[in-house]
């Protein structure tokens, strides 16, 4: 049983410069979310980083919020928190798979993301994983995000997005010359 297992925990690395972490939580199960948040905040503070917290309606919205924040603000790392408990329909699989896939794609795009969205069969499993005094998965997700950030900084990862760059703006002379060539 997971509650009685011992897990290896990496030592905290040191941050070469200040870090700002965004915690994005889907508080559908408020008591569980509060435990995840407490663990994440404590771990971020133990690293000497600062944090902000936002709430979104559900686990499916967590990757979108992180993507928006990554493009529109100045966060260095992201912690995704929430809990999905199996119900009577296949909605559980959709939410688990799609939220995880979205976070994985963000990570593969260069974002330092720690995934602390619990996917469990029942409330008891969720509480064991969420509680700071037990498995502390919120703290683990924060640590994962900060470890990834240290790797990114070590390797000198660019802050610019990945993908195509927009074309340079054209001046009036360039547009006129281009039109003249197309009418020949």
Active site residues: 91
Q: Give the Cα separation of 27 and 25 in Å (integer).
A: 6
For the record, the structure tokens of 36 come out as 């995840």
Please give the Cα distance from 60 to 103 (Å, whole number): 10
Name the residue with tokens 């794609």. 105
For 55-86, give one letter per residue: b (16+ CB within 10 A) or e: ebeebbbbbebbbebbeeeebbbbbbbbbbbe
Give which of 89, 28, 101, 38 is closest to 59, Cα–Cα: 28
């Amino acid at each position: 049983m997971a509650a009685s297992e011992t897990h290896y925990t990496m030592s905290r690395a040191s941050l070469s410069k200040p870090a700002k972490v965004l915690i994005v939580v889907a508080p559908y199960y408020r008591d569980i979310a509060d435990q995840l948040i407490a663990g994440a905040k404590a771990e971020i503070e133990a690293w000497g980083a600062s944090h902000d917290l936002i709430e979104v309606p559900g686990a499916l919205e967590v990757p979108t919020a992180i993507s928006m924040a990554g493009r529109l603000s100045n966060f260095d790392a992201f912690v995704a928190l929430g809990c999905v408990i199996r119900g009577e329909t296949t909605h559980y699989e959709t939410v688990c798979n799609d939220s995880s896939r979205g976070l994985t794609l963000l990570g593969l795009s260069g974002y330092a993301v720690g995934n602390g969205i619990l996917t469990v069969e029942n409330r008891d499993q969720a509480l064991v994983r969420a509680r700071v005094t037990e498995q502390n998965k919120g703290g683990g997700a924060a640590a994962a995000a900060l470890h990834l950030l240290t790797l990114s900084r070590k390797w000198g990862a660019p802050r610019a997005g990945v993908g195509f760059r927009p074309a340079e703006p054209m001046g009036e002379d360039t547009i006129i010359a281009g039109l003249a060539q197309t009418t020949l």
